[in-house]
Amino acid sequence: MNEDEYQKLVKDTASTFLVDCEAEDWVKENEGGKFYDFLEHAEYDGGFNSIIDCEFSGVDWQKAIEYIQCSEQNPDHVDSGLYEGCSWKKILVCIAFEVFSWDVREEAEAMLDRGDYGQVVKSFPTNQRQLGFYPNHKLYKVPKGPWAINLGRGGVKVLIPGRRADIVKMAPPELSVVFDGPVSERPSSYVVACRRIYTQGGDDADIQADLKRCEEEFGVRATRGKARGGAQG
């Protein structure tokens, strides 16, 4: 990735954020509102971080270096507490995530200030760790049970915790799959209008394999219905 490609990615991601969180409507309803008021409103649904995170699903340390080199942000300003105890590869990815998010936030603020509410809408990428559906959504039904954690407006997680590695440290989860999107709760299940589905497993985790396990062991399934604008099945 060169600097021009990076700047385009920043601009397109900022545009996607403003479109997805309906910035134009928010400005009309909140005359005189500042960008950070809008950001707080957007984060109620996890909007900003979700869009940043989707770009980093599957990013390795080598790709992270490209983000850091292309950004004009100072990586020394990233809070070391965010990556304390991580491997050097994870540290690079964490720093890249932060500087990229700062660049996108600055670009989104500049756009909003000049009355540009975004036109470009990026598709969420699909890779080994993530299935991207955005700007469309795909409905999934997740049966209720001790494995299903309702994340509120942010989605539903299917989780099998790992066994304790030692007294002070927990092992990585055996299975952790997030169905990211608006949730509709039913008596025996959750229906999620998924923007994406991603794994939180170890470095070798594969979302296709993890999703198959969710389907076979817990009855998770894709369903039909109106996905855009709410989880209606």
Is the pLDDT at 170 greater than 80, yes or no? no
- Helices then strands (H, E): number in the chain? 7, 9
- Nearest Cα neighbor of 100 from 127, 71, 120, 129 is 71
What letter does residue 168 receive in the DSSP assignment? S
| pTM given for the model | 0.83
Q: What is the pLDDT of residues 6-29, one digit of tens each?
A: 999 999 999 999 998 899 999 999
Q: What is the pLDDT of residues 122-166, one digit of tens each?
A: 999 999 999 999 898 999 999 999 999 998 778 999 999 877 655
Enumerate residues 6+ apart whose C-beta is below 8 A from 93. 56, 59, 60, 61, 64
* Residue type for position 124: F
Write out the E strands in 57-164: 130-132, 138-143, 148-150, 155-160
Mean pLDDT of 187-197: 95
